[in-house]
Chain A
Amino acid sequence: MSARLLFAAVCAVAAIAAAAPASADVPIPDPGASPPPPACAGALDGHVVDASTHEEVAGAIVTLDGEVVATTDESGRFALVGLCAGTHVLVVERDDYARGEQAVAVADRAASVEIELTALASELIVIEDAAPPAIDMRATTVVSGEALARTRGRALAEALAEVPGVAQLRSASGMAKPIVRGQFGRRLLLLVDGVRHRAQEWGLDHAPEVDPFVAGAITVVRGAAGVRYGPDAIGGAVLVDPPALPHDPGVAGELHLIGATNGHGGSGAARVQAAPRRIPGLAWQLEGTYKRLAAPRTPDYALDNTGAAEWSAGATAGYQRGDADFHLSYRRYQADLGVCSCLRIESADDFYAQLERDEPLGVERFRADFEIERPYQAVAHDLAVARAHWHPAGVGGVTLTYALQYDHREEFDVVRDATAGPQFDFRLTTHDADASFEHNPVHLSDHVHLHGDAAVVGMVQFHGFSGLPLVPDHRAWSAGAYAIERLVGHDFEVEAGVRYDALARTASIARQDFLRLVRSDQLAADACGGGEPDPVECASTFHTLSASLGGLYQLTRAWAVKADVSTASRPPNPDEQYLNGTSPTFPVVGLGKPDLGPETTVSASVTTTYRGDRVAAEASAFANRIADYIELAPALDADGEPIFDVLIRGTFPRFVTRPVDAAFWGADAGITARVAPGLELAGQVAVVRAKDLDDDGYLAFVPPDRVRGEARYARADVLGLRAASVAVSGSYVARQRRFDVNADLAPPPAGYFLLGAEVGVEDEVGPHTVKASLVGTNLTDARYRDYTSLLRYFADQPGWQLVLRLSVHFDATDAP
């Protein structure tokens, strides 16, 4: 215990040290930028592109008068300063291109040049390497490599916790869904392997059924991104992209073993990738994860029954031949998630009485064990994807994708023994198909190219339920099309996009449930054909339009500003239309409104990024105005008083979905700075504000302000090991002071500070890379509750914990 305190104290000091300079300007000496003699004031900006496709050529070596002076960046650009006037010989080289040579005349001012390289004939065209992803006009963060490795073993939302602007909506089972700029669930898209995750995202306590281990990189796009990803991407999109299949013959893989102390337990994950030597172009991958965790403990008591049992498995095969490649993959995720015994949600009286208590009723019976008893959720998600990509020379790329998803969610309540099965049982089957075309860049001038893509998308979906009626059976189809064009200049980019979607949905509502909606004034008696026969068929159709305009200006090679304005309309989700019953999350009667229209958002953001040698930073401000924003809020009568429904179990407040005008605005920023060799400081800050413009009130579940700082010191060749690192981090989350207590049901909890630390080593054992790290979280054993956690009404968050992580990477491919 005393050792832990000492460690905590050391960490605290370091965290304070880390937090202080994060916001200060760090002077960045540039060794190449010594003041040029007066006679040599010329500068040259260069852009290297593929002669046939006009795509950027990154990583090419630039030689001036026989001396290597630069390497092209991701956009194929390089910049030279301090050039003396006169004619110079510029040579650009990359292995897979013919040598490019050009004579340039330099005067005492800035000039620019474009150099075209001609690709060498090659058997294998590696498309992935040829086209770096376009820069998003919104704030984006990619979690990959070392940063992603540090999140292994965590759930998806938790893995994104260090991304500025991302918070977690935690459920009572310890799982969470990400919140981006105050938006989550139905307004935040999740794409796995390029396919929209289709699940029961409406439930506050429904964590995404995705194992983050499938990711080779996770990208968070913050801000409305409706044109490319779908009109409901109001908060943004989270892209979970699997690693690319290997091109070189051989076998590679990784194995991760993770053990934790609170809740104790562990997980294992493995991935094997191979490309058989005998069949060139073929590659495959197998991956799997198993996780078993006991219920964690708060500083004072166990969060009884919050254990988790989870597994996932996936297989991918790819075949590449000529200018075409094909992918087939199947992934399954399955989890049993215990829900805390501390919940008191089945009667409003019990719920409100619990709010007065410091700790849950009956904690003396609570245990931190593995057993998962009722109440619990059993979820399973299957995703099968087939994708074909064809890249004929001189035209562009065509991609066809078909995806099948089956999402099965069962929720088991505490019931009498006579009832054996789940009380809620939802099955969602979704077929997605899309065809996209990306044209080759059009050469408009030496410095201006036009990139673009267009796609048509289609979806067919079936939803069925058993058990308690809450969201009825429904079926839906949708179709849409979008086109995005991007003008890429020497130091600017402009992007414009437009999208149209149509959605038709028919719900089959049991007549009894239909009549309840009529009696509660959520539906006119003559709606849906007058409510005959049984079940009543309620159909709705939505047409929505999205458009966006964005621009980027490169102020210097490292510093850019981006701006984006967009509009999108989101049709209501099935639950917002048809919710009908007591909520399994809160002791409220929830009622949908079947005749809701789409909500329309107009949003704008400004982002500035800096990518220097020592400092990487991004800061972004945003504002969204959402007309007819659909919220689930307390129903009010004509006098503005809350409505209560008398049920056979007592009196419950009534919540209804209703459209209001809302606004979200705020800012988030992140910086990473290498202040000394091996020492890196990082900080993130996020602020979100939201208002109901109709009554000047506040919206529920808007994350409070947060700030995070980290100091990381890494060294190579230490203690006979290849590398070692140590890090401390601190995060502070303020109390949410802007709230509507009627919608929130209780005032927000106090702010809190969490301390974390990590020690990691890396070495080679034979041909394999072995990494080990020990991570501590909440090291001060802080007692806290989180405003955006459903657990906060009942119990504290888990106390301190240590996680030991071991990984082995092996690579036996013929990579050069």
Chain B
Amino acid sequence: MRLRSLSTSMFAVVAAALAGCGSDGDDHDHGNEQEVITTVILTFTPDGGGAAIVAVADDPDGDGGEPPVIDDVGLFDGTTYGVTVAFENRLEEPAEDITAEVADEAEDHQVFFTGTAVNGPASDRPGAGLVHAYADEDAAGLPIGLDNTITVGGAGGELTVTLRHLPPVNDQPVKTSTTAAEVAAGGFAAIGGTTDAQVTFEVAVAVE
């Protein structure tokens, strides 16, 4: 709780009055307290070597206006990919890297892979073409989802990547070992926290 002193507030009034009279208010800094993600970048690196496939979902004008532009993803059947997820805010110049912030607070974040093309911890679709597994963990040993493996073994479809912020409520953790399974069973509505990013890629699978 912040109780400012009366004299400070008196000063604030006078200062505001002077500022209000003296400037037209255009040139002040609008601050950088926005927690905006405009861009989600998936990088698929084939296990056996070869060129990495990069798919970007980008909403350069932020909320409203133009909808995000989302790349289609082309993967090869029978291949296992290392998949990294990166987040950026491209409203800033240069673009702000959000991935490091997520990694720093890994205990409060998790990336989920769902959609018709996905079978994995958060998507219970046996026989789906993309088999997802987490390849990283936070200090508590729970998956983060910035590093993953996807093994392609069937048809494509939708791949939805969701970054969920799961901060504790009253010091009791919201991110638990069963969170992914709860998403698989009941969707995102079944878990706490808030969605920081959620984009759906169309995945096509080619037979090599």
Contacts and interface: CB of A to CB of B under 8 A. Distances in A.
Contacts of B170: 304, 365-367, 369, 371
Interface in B158-201: 165, 167, 169-170, 172, 174, 187-192, 194-199
B102 interface: yes
Contact of A535 (B10, B26, B199): B26
A795 interface: no
Contacts of B2: 336, 378
Which of B61, B62, B108, B199 lies at the interface centre, i.e. has the most chain A CB atoms within 10 A of its CB?
B62
Given A362-B174, A416-B105, A382 B13 contact: yes
A595 B68 CA distance: 27
A650 B12 CA distance: 40
Given A475-B25, A520-B64, A347 B195 contact: yes
A699 B23 CA distance: 40
A429 B165 contact: no
Given A431-B17, A466-B33, A646-B68, A332 B6 contact: yes
Given A416-B35, A419-B35, A429 B196 contact: no
B127 interface: no
A353 interface: yes
Interface string B1-35: 11110100110110011011000111011110111
Contact of B38 (A380, A462, A648): A648
A365 B169 contact: yes
Interface string B75-118: 00000000000000001000000000110110010000000000
A418 interface: yes
Nearest to A415: B35
B35 A462 contact: no
Nearest to A375: B194
A508 interface: yes
A361 B192 contact: yes
B30 A466 contact: yes
A380 B6 CA distance: 12
A573 interface: no
Contact of A349 (B165, B187, B196): B187
Contacts of B63: 581-582, 589, 645, 647-648
Nearest to A420: B33
Contacts of B25: 462-464, 473, 475, 508
A589 B64 contact: yes
A350 B189 CA distance: 5
B111 to A, nearest CB: 14
Given A423-B33, A512-B62, A516-B64, A648 B197 contact: yes
A772 interface: no
A423 B29 CA distance: 14
Contacts of A473: 25-26, 28
A653 interface: no
Contacts of B17: 404, 406, 429, 431
Which of A334, A406, A469 lies at the interface centre, i.e. has the most chain B CB atoms within 10 A of its CB?
A406
A313 interface: yes
Which of A420, A467, A591 lies at the interface centre, i.e. has the most chain B CB atoms within 10 A of its CB?
A467
Contacts of A353: 187-190
Contacts of A463: 25
**Interface residue tally on A, bucketed by range:** 35 or more
Contacts of A645: 63-64, 67
A519 interface: yes
Contacts of A404: 13, 17
Contact of A648 (B24, B34, B199): B199
Nearest to A645: B64
Contact of B165 (A332, A414, A516): A414
B41 to A, nearest CB: 12
Contacts, number: 187
A194 to B, nearest CB: 19
A366 B168 CA distance: 11
B33 A313 contact: no
A609 interface: no
Contact of A425 (B19, B33, B108, B191): B33
Interface in B18-61: 19-20, 24-26, 28-31, 33-40, 57, 59, 61
B84 to A, nearest CB: 18
A417 interface: yes
A374 to B, nearest CB: 8
B33 A419 contact: yes
Interface string A332-369: 10101000010000110110111000000110011101
Contacts of A326: none
Contacts of A406: 12-13, 16-17
A468 interface: yes
Contact of B188 (A350, A366, A427, A475): A350
Which of B1, B20, B187 lies at the interface centre, i.e. has the most chain A CB atoms within 10 A of its CB?
B20
A369 B25 CA distance: 40
Nearest to A506: B24
Contacts of A462: 19-20, 25
Interface string A388-418: 0000000000000000101010000111111
Contacts of A107: none
B119 to A, nearest CB: 21
Contacts of A648: 37-40, 57, 59, 63, 68, 197-199
B64 A309 contact: no
Given A304-B170, A414-B194, A508-B25, A467 B30 contact: yes
A423 B35 contact: yes
Given A353-B187, A462-B25, A427 B195 contact: no
A505 to B, nearest CB: 13
A650 B104 contact: no
Interface string A577-604: 0001110000001010000000000000
Interface string A481-510: 000000000000000000000000000101
Contacts of B101: 416-418
B65 interface: yes
Contacts of A378: 2
A650 B195 contact: yes
Contact of A336 (B1, B29, B36): B1
A646 B67 contact: yes
A508 B167 CA distance: 36
Contacts of A591: 64
B9 A332 contact: yes
Contacts of B102: 416
Contacts of B197: 648-649
Given A350-B189, A646-B68, A649-B198, 14 more contacts: A341-B169, A349-B187, A414-B167, A416-B102, A418-B104, A422-B33, A464-B28, A516-B64, A520-B64, A535-B26, A647-B63, A647-B64, A648-B198, A650-B195
8 contacts: A349-B187, A406-B17, A466-B31, A512-B62, A515-B65, A516-B61, A535-B26, A645-B64
The 6 lowest CB-CB distance pairs between A and B, nearest first, are: A353-B189, A516-B65, A466-B31, A421-B33, A429-B20, A646-B67
